[in-house]
Amino acid sequence: MKTLKLVFLLAVSLAGPGSCKHEKEQPADRKMQIFIDDLIRKMTAEEKAGQLSLFTSDWTSTGPSIRNDYIDLIREGKTGGIFNAYTVDFVRSLQKTAVEETRLHIPMLFGFDDIHGHRTIFPVPLAQACTWDTTLIEKVERITAIEATAEGLNWTFAPMVDLARDPRWGRVMEGAGEDTWLGSLIAAARVKGFQGKSLSDSNSVLACVKHFAAYGAPQAGRDYYTVDISDRSLNEWYLPPYRAAVNAGAGSVMTSFNEIAGVPSTSNRWLLTDLLRRNWNFTGFVVTDYGSINELIPHGVAADQEDAAEMSVNAGVDMDMQGSAFLSWLPALVKEGKVSEETLNNAVRRVLEAKYRLGLFDDPYKYCNNKRESEDIMRPEFIAFAREVAAKSCVLLKNDKNTLPLSKAVKTIAVIGPLSDSRADMLGAWAGAGSADSCVTLVEGIRNKTGLSVDILTERGCNITDEEYDGIDRAVAAARQADFVILALGESSSMSGEAASRTDIGLPGMQMKLAEAVIKTGKPTAVVLFNGRPLAIPGLDEISPAILETWFGGTEAGNGIADVLFGDINPSGKLTMTFPLNVGQVPLFYNVKNTGRPINPENPHEKYKSNYLDSPNTPLFPFGYGLSYTTFQYSDIKLTKQSYRHGENIIASADITNTGDRDGEEIVQLYVHDIVGDVTRPVKELKAFKKVMIKKGQTITVAFTVAPEELAYYHQDMSFSYDPGDFEIFIGTNSENVKKASFKIEE
């Protein structure tokens, strides 16, 4: 064991590195506090409980609607916000009731799940993460905020920053994948995009970081299920993306449905008060997920709704989404002394502060602008950018013999598969207020690209999930007539997202039979995958000449994919979540531990090693993987020195040569391995990357600077520090295909 630790930060609690320093109170803050204190003094206990209650509106075939009893609650000052309500006229009518028909005229928040766009729908967040481009991702959320606020919204239930290592869990599509460091960068970018330069701007929305905490680690990959996790794993892997979002200024945080170590998040005082508020200095408000206060009863920690309300508000929850527990029980709980007046007032204050910062007390109708609604929805530049993001989110998984891009000499293309012309499935899950009618399908994108110069034959072949063979013969006949075949396969949009866990993450239904029959014709074939999670597709990989992972690309999916298929855009996406060979390997991720009996690469099936009898340990496609239409060659790593002292940065570089015949972007990745630690360390950890454009034939030098502090981790005593000793450093095109060098940090 190493005898000396070079400590640069002592963890005050099990919270991790970073800081959220309070700035000096400004005159504007003082003015806000005086205003809110005066307002709270005027409020009854029932009105306070109302400010902490959030209810939903509905949508019918004729447009937005809301229950009459909720209108009554608004009129009585017993609703702090409404979610799922948008369009300017509808929001204005509800806000008018709140500010003109109530005793205290307090405006409401209007929230919505704008997860990957509002009206202009972008690729699902997991797809966006595969661009490794935080500037692009921030711009996505800026556009989302502009559209959302143009339709009356001022609060979005995003970003979801849950670290996820199990593709059986359907909500992996909402996050950034399996890496903590990259996920933290993306979390901060999303918050900045939503909230803009200032929350007071009329085109900024309040971000809501979710789901706090560790919602992405459910046992068996089953949604809403138990999370059982060590303090070290929680702090080192799962908490940092939430903290990055808080540090970026997120105005609200949403509790998760799961428990951690036997305590549901919604009643977890350590999580919501000790960690989030006292240690991280979070000053926004905490909202529950849908009905999760009431769910404390089936969790088995609350006897009834009154008990659940008491536990959650005392734990640190400020707003009850849809459960009515606060509205029903908080006044009585305060009267009985089970909840202090101070606790109630602090919760109300935090909600009112958010409304104040949004400018709602100055102008409750600032988000109700009909001119903006007519001009700021699906603007041409938004659509053009959605097309760009759809293309840049694609990951080329296989491309034998340069099957892609399609040759300009192709005269007949057969587009086959259940997802070839499925408009609704282009949106993906949690598609905001997006409309399938606005989506461009794969077939349409190819037609838009080729015009009348190419004959396009289309066949479904089979449906996504059924067991019918009926269409396969027609699909084979179409393939035989074509010069080139595109197989559009994968999941339906409803097969990922919330409550969409799967035990079999292969191609559903008869799609593999369809692929086998079509590819057997011998025609050049490229598979285009649509899915919201990594799939286990070793059979497809074995027989397919080319595979392009496109995820669910949103409004401009078909056009963006066509840009890649025809080579107008050279694919540059890299996976941020591992694709397993089979579901039995799951959970599978790149930054694993060696164990005491690691496998022997020369003999991976050696007995009494940490391996399987029937499968290799390695994935189908590793983290960071993605091909290009060109090729890149990496030199050996150059280090400025072999030994570094405390305070000296490690500088590593490699020469990257574009050895192909196309210009292309490459995401150069740097990983580090601490060989001997105070506790066991992963075999690799991502510590830096650079996305660079390299022209054909060009060689560029890519250099990285890594501070020793970036090598810190949690020790046995849960202090956060780095150690002296020996390290390995890796630079490469993905987490497995890397060059290696060694360096030492001296004591």
Note the helical H segments in 368-522.
370-375, 380-392, 442-450, 472-481, 511-519
289 given a catalytic annotation:
yes
Q: Do 681 and 673 contact (CB within 8 A), yes or no?
A: yes
Q: How far is CA 302 from CA 254, 312, 315, 438, in A?
A: 20, 10, 13, 46
DSSP element (H, E) containing 200? none
3-state secondary structure of 92: helix
Q: For residue 274, what is the DSSP state?
A: I
The Cα–Cα gap between 211 and 255 comes to 5
Token pair, residue 380, equals 């041409």
DSSP element (H, E) containing 526? strand 525-530
Which residues 6+ apart lie within 8 Å of 129 measured at CB?
137, 175, 176, 177, 182, 183, 186, 576
Annotated catalytic residue within 113, 133, 166, 289 = 289
Q: Do 84 and 57 contact (CB within 8 A), yes or no?
A: yes
* Residue tagged 């340990």 (tokens): 617
* Amino acid identity at 23: E
3-state secondary structure of 245: helix
482 burial (CB, 10 Å; 0-12 / 13-18 / 19+) is buried
Of 543, 443, 541, which is closest to residue 486 (Cα–Cα)? 443
Q: For residue 498, what is the DSSP state?
A: T
Token pair, residue 277, equals 């508020």
Our measurement of the distance from residue 225's CA atom to the centroid of its chain's CA atoms, rounded to an integer in Å, reads 19
The Cα–Cα gap between 169 and 496 comes to 8
Extended beta strands in 575-660, E state? 632-634, 638-639, 643-644, 650-658
Which residues 6+ apart lie within 8 Å of 702 measured at CB?
653, 654, 655, 656, 668, 690, 692, 731
The Cα–Cα gap between 550 and 445 comes to 13
Strand order in the sheet with 720-722: 6-9, 720-722, 713-714
The Cα–Cα gap between 595 and 577 comes to 22
Which residues 6+ apart lie within 8 Å of 60 measured at CB?
none
3-state secondary structure of 729: strand
The residues carrying an active-site annotation are 289
